Amino acid sequence: MVKFSVEEILLGIKDNNNLVLNYIYDKYYLNFESFVLGNNGSNKDAEDIFQDAIIIIFLKVKEEKLIITCNFNTYLFSVCNKLWLKYLEKNKNHIKTNSFINETNEFDIEDELILKNEKFKLYQKHFKNLSKTCQNVLQLTIKKMPLKKIATKTGFKNAKSVKRRKYKCKKRLIRNIKSDPAYRQINE
Amino acid sequence: MTYFEIIEQDINGELSEEESILVKNRIKTQSQFADDYKLQLEIDEAISENEIMDLRENIQNIFNQKSTVKKGIIKELISFDSYLKPAIAAAITVVLVVASILLFNTSTNYTNDQLFTMNFESIPTISNTRSVSNNSNQLMNNAFQLYEQKQFNEAIVIFNKFESNKLSQFFLGISYIEINQYQNASIAFSEILNDNNNLFTEDSRWYLGLCYLKLDNTQKAKELFNKIVNSNSIYKSKAKKILKSL
């Protein structure tokens, strides 16, 4: 297996590099999955938490120019650990049993960052479920592209129709997000 | 203008200064309005983050691919079904026969260490393509995958969780040998031998004997190899040859 340094891994996450992401899975996932399964979690829990941990590391790399002085394994499991504890808080039927929990608390992963990831995940999931036209219109208007130009680019009759469609799409997106049980859970 | 449109237009800077001030007041005084305003802002931020969406999608794809591969080649040694045991015995036998042919054509005096090295061979796991039925099985699968990848320390952590399972205890012992922890290995094999009524007794006795060689406990090793010689064990001839060298 090709080996990557911590810096290469962080850069790979930032660049969405397939080779690095595959490496992370091959090298670290199985251990984490075993930990979750051994603590009454499911494969789905392990997958969700592990994936969220990578996104959180991405957010940290992007926002703070994260520098890790330990090995990547320690840092990754520290993030996973924090997410696992959050998960346990929400799902009180699970029992904390494994020593892994106490071993990797040395890094502080901000609650705000975890919340931001949860929100992004939910909003983006529903955004991806919209039609391609809706997705295009919403993204182009957020980028402040003039409505007239969007109309030309996307085949709408005029700026007014673009605006009408934008409102319709965004209202639908908000409605879908608000009706998702995860939205209530996030805002509890 | 609707509630929603007011918020949208304020976010987009389309309201007049006076209208915008009114919006700010509503944010301060009406919590529902403030929440919706915040939500609309957050949504805009989230859906403009293409990098995160692409990364999440890519990670999910990788997980899906790996999961498919994993299911295809999964090693379910787990439920300890009877059909697995002959397979394990067969694997061990192949190793032993080859080792016997290669190593015992002549009778020579060897040190305990040499005897161990000549007789110990890594045991491969046995493949079987069955779907995973529960968490416990999945966990054990992971242990065997780790074992196969020679990540013995990690495999040991999981094998240790299945104390009452003889198959798990057996591979726990072998894993300990692989990382040169012979004392721990001997404990695992002894545990199996404490319960005579299991299919790993014969193999465990042999490997425990090898551990004693490595631990330089010749007396105990001799006792075990003598037991093997006086039984119908598949290790009988090998044990006999070791005894000659001790």
- Residues A20 and A98 reside in one and the same domain: yes
Distance of CA B178 to the CA centre of its chain: 15
Q: Determine the residue of chain A that is closest to B35 in CA distance.
A: A187
- Residues A140 and A86 reside in one and the same domain: no
pLDDT of B38 strictly over 90 = yes
pLDDT of B37 strictly over 70 = yes
User: Considering the domain boundaries, does residue A1 fall inside one?
Assistant: no
- Residues A180 and A100 reside in one and the same domain: no
Tens digit of pLDDT for each residue in B184-209?
Answer: 999 999 988 988 767 788 889 999 99
- Among candidate residues A45, A80, A109, the one where a domain is terminated: A109
- Among candidate residues A64, A93, A109, the one where a domain is terminated: A109
pLDDT of B168 strictly over 70 = yes
Tokens of B239: 């044990």
d(CA A116, CA A119): 5
A 107-166 → B contacts, CB under 8 A: 119-121, 123-124, 127-128, 135, 138-139, 141-143
Tokens of A174: 């908000």
Tokens of B32: 């529902």
Considering just the CA atoms, what is the radius of gyration of chain B in Å?
A: 31
- Residues A75 and A38 reside in one and the same domain: yes
Residue A130 belongs to what domain range? 115-186
Residue entry with tokens 């639908």: A172
Helix (H, G, I), strand (E, B) or coil at B128: strand
Higher pLDDT, B231 or A168: A168
Percent of chain B surpassing pLDDT 70? 78
In order of A76, A114, B100, the CA distances from A69 in angstroms are 12, 22, 50
Contact call for A177 and B43, based on CB within 8 A: yes
Averaged pLDDT of chain B: 82
* ipTM of the complex, rounded to two decimals: 0.90
3-state helix, strand, coil in chain A (%, to 5): 75, 0, 25
A54 close contact with B: CB closer than 8 A: yes
d(CA A131, CA A100): 43
Q: Are B105 and B114 in contact (CB under 8 A)?
A: no
Written as one letter, the residue type at B25 is N
pLDDT in tens, chain A (188 residues): 678 888 899 999 999 999 999 999 988 998 888 888 888 888 899 999 999 999 999 999 887 767 777 788 888 988 998 898 888 888 766 555 554 544 445 567 788 889 999 999 999 999 999 999 999 999 999 998 999 999 998 889 899 999 999 999 999 999 999 999 999 988 87
The pLDDT, as a whole number, for residue B138 is 80
pLDDT-derived band at B71 (thresholds 50, 70, 90) equals low
pLDDT of B31 strictly over 80 = yes
The pLDDT, as a whole number, for residue A30 is 87
User: Considering the domain boundaries, does residue A20 fall inside one?
Assistant: yes
- Residues A119 and A105 reside in one and the same domain: no
Mean pLDDT score, B203-227: 92
- Residues A95 and A140 reside in one and the same domain: no
- Among candidate residues A77, A109, A141, the one where a domain is terminated: A109
pLDDT of B7 strictly over 80 = yes
The pLDDT, as a whole number, for residue A17 is 93
Residue closest to B167 by CA, chosen among B134, B144, B145 = B144
Residue closest to B125 by CA, chosen among B161, B155, B162, B160 = B155
d(CA B229, CA B236): 5
pLDDT of B126 strictly over 70 = no
> Which CATH number goes with the domain that contains A63?
1.10.1740
Tokens of A72: 């990547």
Q: Write the CB contacts of A65 (distance below 8 Å, at least 6 apart in sequence).
A: none
Residues of B in contact with A115 (CB under 8 A): none
- Residues A102 and A50 reside in one and the same domain: yes
pLDDT of B246 strictly over 90 = no
- Residues A122 and A105 reside in one and the same domain: no
The pLDDT, as a whole number, for residue A185 is 87
Q: Write the CB contacts of B1 (distance below 8 Å, at least 6 apart in sequence).
A: B9
Our count of domains for chain A comes to 2
User: B206-233: buried (b, 16+ CB within 10 Å) or exposed (e) per residue?
Assistant: bbbbbbbbbbebeeebbebbeebbeeeb
A 21-40 → B contacts, CB under 8 A: 21-22, 25-26, 29-31, 33-34, 37-38, 40
